[in-house]
Amino acid sequence: MSTTQQSAATTQEQLTIDGYVAGRWVIDPVHSEVAFTVRHLMVSKVRGRFVRFAGDIVTAANPLDSSVAVEIDMASVDTADAGRDEDLRSSAYLDVAQFPHMRYRSTGIRAVDGRVTVDGELTLHGVTRPVSLDVDVNGIGENGKGGTVAGFSARTQISRSDFGIDLRLPMTGGGVVVGDRIDIALEIEAVLAA
């Protein structure tokens, strides 16, 4: 075992969450958001989101044994500009005709030094790569309708070229029109299934 592995193993913590309930949770798309940000023209950022997605979270007796699976409809991309959205759906970028869905499946959960990380596999544009999410558990409570809800925030960054989306539009004087790094931010509210 390497020094790094030993350090990670010795700092792994038990995860304690107030109001924790084991069970299957369904992501509520009305109260959730799958958003992204990318650099544009090397001077600003463009923000967007995916409108249609679905997923389940299964919380185990030990929170570190829990899992998540999500599927996102790539045609539902929305950057508040119809022309740009059509461009993103084209074969130059997301190629939604050939790759209509993006999927994420967790492979493990870690709690180290007070931080929760969900490790998993992201399949995008026909390519599957490991992607880890930094997660905040925002709370578990009642929804006022007799149900139980849980809230999570998560962040990660991916390289679009790692997933075969490597169109480069160089700018005069250096740089590119659209950056390679994509910041992803998730706000998830899930409802405990009956």
Considering just the CA atoms, what is the radius of gyration of the chain in Å?
A: 18
Amino acid letter, residue 189: E
Query: Closest Cα partner for 32 from 191, 193, 192, 187?
Result: 187
Instruction: For 118-150, give one letter per residue: b (16+ CB within 10 A) or e.
Output: bebebbbbeeeeebbbebeeeebeeeeeeebbb
Per-residue confidence band for 14, with pLDDT thresholds at 50, 70 and 90:
confident
Q: What is the pLDDT of residues 62-100, one digit of tens each?
A: 999 999 999 999 999 999 999 989 988 999 889 999 999
pTM: 0.86
Per-residue confidence band for 3, with pLDDT thresholds at 50, 70 and 90:
very low
Distance of CA 55 to the CA centre of its chain: 11
The mean of the pLDDT values for the chain is 87
Burial of 160 (0-12, 13-18, 19+ CB in 10 A): buried
Q: Would you state the pLDDT for residue 169?
A: 52
User: Domain ranges in the chain?
Assistant: 3-192
Domain boundaries 3-192, corresponding CATH code: 2.40.128.110
